[in-house]
Structure 1
Amino acid sequence: MFDSGLLILTKPVPVLRKNVQNILSQAAKIISNTLYVHIEPNKFGKAETKVGPDFSRLRVSPPDKNLRMLMTDIYSSSASVCGNIDIYVLLGNFTIIPNENVNIRYNLKSKLEVVLMDSQEQLEANNEVTLSKFVQNTFQASVNDIKIQSLCDLSSDTMEGNPSENSQLQTYRQVVLGGTFDRLHVGHKILLGEGCLRAEERLTVGVTTGEMNLKKTLPELMETTPDRIQSVVQFIETVRPQIAHRVVPIEDMFGPTITDPDLECIVVSAETQKGGEIVNQERQKKGFSQLDIYCIDLVEDLCHGQYEESKVSSSSLRKRLLGTLIHPVKENKNIPPSPYVVGVTGGIASGKSAICKRLEKLGAAVVDSDKLGHQAYVKGTPGHDKVVSAFGPEILNKDGEVNRRALGAIVFSDETKMQTLNSLVWPEIARLAKEEIRKHASEGKSVVVLEAAVLLKAGWEDLCHEVWGCMIPVKEAVKRLEERNKLSEEEALKRIHLGVTNNELVQKSNVVLCSQWEYEYTQQQVEKAWGLLLERCPLHVKSKH
């Protein structure tokens, strides 16, 4: 199997459209990572399937509706046929510029290892030297180590409709579009591909940032804005290298559309078509020309899970990260390799305890730092004397034990006092946690979970081999605290803001879980995380489960 390759399609577009899934299935058996697809313009129907194209030069053709549909078919089919392969449909040779004025040279990010033709017949019809020179000149690829082979022959029966009646796409000097473009997926590629096909000179792309993303599902798991912008730039430069591009962050739905009077066309999805109409209303107020609006269909995700969207979406991709290793585990030489300690942390009302109970049922031992916190200042211990000395005898019950509610009222209203309490009890809790971990190890437990809301703030990640973060949207956390603890919204927010933020959890956790949705979905996340944990644990840990 090869890491990356180039697929050259030479048969008529209707034949290719009928065979897209077959083509991609065959390619997926040969390519493991990146596939570039080059389409030779062929409008002459079934009769030309036996005539190989002239590879002495790059042929160009105006973009038309059949090509647009083939591009869409390739991307949408790839989601289910070969979703693990990064596919790029190259569009540089589809232009209204005359053939003799076009000099396309692609700069592919991946080194080509193999060139695939859509049939053995086409491969035999061309001189291998000429074909190699074409690949070398057009794709700037060294042909010394490239293998050239063909796919199995495809069905030559055309689809319904006469290709000769196909109509050319309307193109524009300047085209604009926008989106989140998080973890560039096939829906994004179809949107950007449409923009690349229609833009003659420049494609402008707005990439959402700031508050625009806060309403998205799991925004904390989004790629950074610079990374998303770079992905868009790299895509445009790959598939249509001859057009200029302007990719900018946008903090509202308008971006450049209401500041650039030279824009002529906007490409939208079925979800954002109304937004395109609102853009035109704003342009009209400014005296700008109206944008032609082109709407693309959403791509159905044939592999979506029960709790994911039915369309291909970034939200589903982010959900699929839950329970997986999002940051590599670093070796911790300060603690023994066994038992394997997983720190589970998160903000208040994030579902930590429920998740730890699930892990306990799967075979882990659980050390609850809250319970250890109670032991850290029980009557008769040094911790008790230190806490009473710091906060006064009024925090005591009649029996001399610390009244946790009275103590909480003091520390939750004053950050300085909270820090004082933490400095007194955290070292003692850590000592008790180590004792509990050793106890579970002596009892034969190979995985121990340390549940601690303050794990990151207290520096207890040094006690763990890896950290799992439990996060929940602030609104959901407030709702849970109002119902569970009978707190007001103001009191709930105060408690939430004292804890770790979701962004910090994502940055510092190896695995992230979210209990925002149904019980069953949280269970699925935990089971996925547990299964993957056992796969990466030391061998002696796996052998005990």
Structure 2
Amino acid sequence: MVASGLLILTQPLTVLRGQIPSLLQRVSQLVSDTLYVHLQPIKTTNSSTKFLIAPVPVTSEVRRVVRDIYSVGATVCRQLDIRVLLSHITNQDLKLATCALHKGYSLVILDNSPTSTELFKDRGFLLEQVKSLFLTEADVDCHILDQQTSPTSSSGTSDDDPVLTTYKNVVLGGTFDRLHVGHKILLSEGCMIANNKLTIGISDGKMNDKKVVGELMEPLAVRTAAVEEFIKDIKPTIVPDAVTIYDVYGPTITEPDFQCIVLSDETQKGGAIINTEREKRGMNKLGQVVIDLVADDSHTPDEEEKVSSSSLRKRLLGTLLKPVVNSNLPKSPYRIGLTGGTASGKSSICRRLEGLGAGVVDCDKLGHEAYKPGTPAYDKIKQTFGDGIVGSDGEINRKKLGGIVFSDRSKLDELNKIVWPEIMKLAEAEISEFEKSGKEVVILDAAVLLEAGWDSRVHEVWSTFVPRIEATKRLMERNSLSEEEAVKRLDAQLTNQERLAHANVTLCTLWEYDQTQKQCEKAWKLLQERINKGAKL
């Protein structure tokens, strides 16, 4: 099996559509990572046929085939990064140009048709032609797929579909988080109907605030680079212009040269709003190309029925997002540092992990222990902040001490330097007790895990989170606070993004209890696999 391959399809489109599932299934046994697809349907064949790239007009049937390749591939060979090449799919005069495919290829695969069989007889010539068009320095082999037992053709369609209108300048938009099959179809539609320039609006800022698990969205720079790389790969003859958008309009109401917009079923209303605003500004109305949403055959009841970035982000919860690097720690017990902001559901997660077999060290509770008379921290706190912080019962008056340190950051830092090391000493003692009792996993439950530098004392950092608006709501209800007071407390902590940047695993408690439980069970199962794998090394 090779990593990347180039599949050349020569059968008429009406025949090809019925064979796509079988073709991709067989190709997935030859290619493991990336599959480039070149459509070169030939209606007639003769003994003198030689493979040369030729223009394929943009028709409804071509659009259906491209869509089917992506959507079927997402089901039958989801491990493959499929990319349908589009430079020759055009209504214009074809300017033959060589290009280097971004991920390369080391295997040319042909479907089994009279044309491909004829081409395969002279593999040397075929490979010479392919390598002259799709540049590669790799050694390339050639393979022809076995003949299908019963070729099927698509009903109600014809290779003589009328040629569709194409445009000089086309625009479209989306989040493009973790480029998936829906994004690929949207971008491919834009590339097929754009003759010169394709403008891609990539949402950021407030446009993404309400996205499900938006905290795990890729950075704008990563999303932009992925879009540009994909377009340059499938259609290097087009000029991609990726721009950041902060509202539904983006550049559509400032750029008069746009002629067409590509929309999905769910964004048609946005297209109408854009055209209304363009008319107000004296601009031409944009032609609209609408594509269907792609059904997600693997979605769970709590996910969207369509293929979506939201579902992909939800599936990341409980999985390992960053590699484990603290390998210098003793392998047993395996330490998980669990952190999270106020009202993020950290305590709930701890209870669930404890129920699955983990030992839990409550650092907040140990913090109270560290203040008790007779402890090293007690004496240092009294010496640093004076006798005035000690009550008549000899205990440190936490309210008085809080009034001092929370009004002066430098004094809060002094207090933390005293208390945090003592808390960790107590935590290490508890971890030792758990080790003696045979616990294989210990959770260090610590809101200040990162601030205190305790992430260096654990194998993995896990972080719980909920959207800020949800945390504010929970804090107001739980602590009877005003919105202003709740926001002030949240502002005094690390942000979700700051915590998640350090997290190996993330968990979100936004939904029903059973969904949180499933996340914990998933995270626990994957953790056990990592521990067992590490034990065997």
What TM-score does the superposition give when structure 2 sets the normalisation length?
0.94
Contact map agreement 2:326 2:458 (CA 8 A) in 1 = no
Q: 1:170 to 1:26 in 2, by over 3 A?
A: same
Q: How does 1:52-451 map to 2 (within 5 A)?
A: 54-98=49-93, 101-119=94-112, 121-126=114-119, 127-142=122-137, 144-153=139-148, 155-333=150-328, 335-390=329-384, 399-404=393-398, 407-408=401-402, 411=405, 415-451=409-445
* 1:390 shift after superposition: 5.0
Q: Distance in 2 between matches of 1:170 and 1:309?
A: 33
* 1:529 shift after superposition: 1.3
* 1:406 shift after superposition: 5.7
Contact map agreement 1:268 1:294 (CA 8 A) in 2 = yes
- Which stretch has the larger CA shift, 280-289 or 425-434? 280-289
Q: 1:184 to 1:361 in 2, by over 3 A?
A: same
* 1:389 shift after superposition: 5.0
Structure 2 segments unaligned to the other structure (5+ residues): none
For residues 42-91 of structure 1, the C-alpha deviation after alignment (integer angstroms, 9 at most, x for no partner) is 4x4xxx4x768944421112110000011111111122211111010111
Q: Does residue 1:505 correspond to 2:499, yes or no?
A: yes
Q: Distance in 2 between matches of 1:210 and 1:329?
A: 31
User: 1:457: which partner in 2?
Assistant: 451
Q: Distance in 1 between matches of 2:457 and 2:358?
A: 16
Q: Distance in 2 between matches of 1:150 and 1:115?
A: 11
Size of the alignment, in residue pairs? 535
Contact map agreement 1:15 1:155 (CA 8 A) in 2 = no
For residues 221-266 of structure 1, the C-alpha deviation after alignment (integer angstroms, 9 at most, x for no partner) is 1112111111111111111111122112222222221222111001
Q: Distance in 2 between matches of 1:30 and 1:341?
A: 41
Q: Distance in 1 between matches of 2:47 and 2:34?
A: 26
Tell me, what secondary structure is at the counterpart of 1:373? helix
Q: How does 1:466-545 map to 2 (within 5 A)?
A: 466-537=460-531
Tell me, what secondary structure is at the counterpart of 1:399? coil
For residues 144-166 of structure 1, the C-alpha deviation after alignment (integer angstroms, 9 at most, x for no partner) is 43232324426333222251541
Structure 1 segments unaligned to the other structure (5+ residues): none
Amino acid at match of 1:371: K
Contact map agreement 2:49 2:118 (CA 8 A) in 1 = no
User: 1:6: which partner in 2?
Assistant: 6
What TM-score does the superposition give when structure 1 sets the normalisation length?
0.92
- Which stretch has the larger CA shift, 50-59 or 502-511? 50-59
Tell me, what secondary structure is at the counterpart of 2:54? coil
Q: What stretches of structure 1 move > 4 A for 4+ residues in a row?
A: 50-53, 388-398, 403-417, 538-543
* 1:415 shift after superposition: 4.2
- Which stretch has the larger CA shift, 173-182 or 218-227? 218-227
Amino acid at match of 1:57: L
- Which stretch has the larger CA shift, 131-140 or 156-165? 156-165
Q: Distance in 2 between matches of 1:392 and 1:331?
A: 40
For residues 346-393 of structure 1, the C-alpha deviation after alignment (integer angstroms, 9 at most, x for no partner) is 111111111111111212111110111010011232322343455566
Contact map agreement 1:120 1:151 (CA 8 A) in 2 = no
Tell me, what secondary structure is at the counterpart of 2:100? coil
- Which stretch has the larger CA shift, 418-427 or 323-332? 418-427
Contact map agreement 1:4 1:114 (CA 8 A) in 2 = yes
Contact map agreement 1:106 1:140 (CA 8 A) in 2 = yes
